[in-house]
């Protein structure tokens, strides 16, 4: 059974439907009890969070990706950049993506803002 299949089954049950037929479960079904429905939705949420954590690990994001910057770290970044450290080196040192390093350097005035190319969606 795949993770998607498992989530489909849990979601059907949480919505009061038979996972095989899609028909509504009887009101007397234990799957329609409020505490069971809550438990099913919590299980779904946990499985989705686990999936996201696994996907993040597979993308090999740096350990500190998406974390807030402290004033100390920002100061260290600025000093290292002023001393000539490359973006890639700074990304490794701060455990962040090169794009995050560039964005922070722009924010603190060490790099000029970039022109963004409009998306073609």
85 vs 1, which has greater pLDDT? 85
Residues 38 and 71 in one domain: no
User: Residue 51's domain spans which residues?
Assistant: 3-58
Average pLDDT, the chain: 90
CA–CA distances in Å: residue 47 to residues 5, 42, 56, 61: 12, 9, 14, 20
Residues 38 and 67 in one domain: no
Residues 72 and 117 in one domain: yes
Residues 69 and 118 in one domain: yes
Residues 82 and 104 in one domain: yes
pLDDT of residue 121: 47
Residues 107 and 67 in one domain: yes
Residues 73 and 19 in one domain: no
pLDDT of residue 63: 85
Question: CA 111, CA 14: separation in Å to the nearest integer?
Answer: 50
Quote the number of domains for the chain.
2
DSSP annotation of 33 reads S
Contact 25, 31 (CB under 8 A): yes
pLDDT one-digit tens code per residue, 34-51 = 999 999 999 999 999 988
Q: What is the mean pLDDT of residues 8-25?
A: 95
């Amino acid at each position: 059974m795949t993770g998607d299949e498992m989530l489909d089954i849990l979601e059907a049950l949480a919505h009061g439907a038979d996972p095989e037929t899609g028909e509504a479960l009887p009101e007397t079904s234990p799957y329609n009890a409020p505490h069971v429905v809550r438990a099913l939705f919590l299980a779904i949420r946990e499985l989705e969070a686990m999936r996201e954590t696994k996907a993040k690990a597979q993308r090999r994001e740096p350990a500190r990706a998406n974390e807030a910057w402290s004033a100390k770290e920002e100061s260290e970044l600025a000093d290292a950049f002023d001393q000539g450290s490359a973006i890639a080196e700074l990304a490794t040192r701060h455990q962040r993506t090169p794009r995050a390093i560039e964005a922070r350097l722009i924010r603190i005035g060490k790099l000029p803002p970039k022109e963004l190319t409009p998306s073609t969606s």
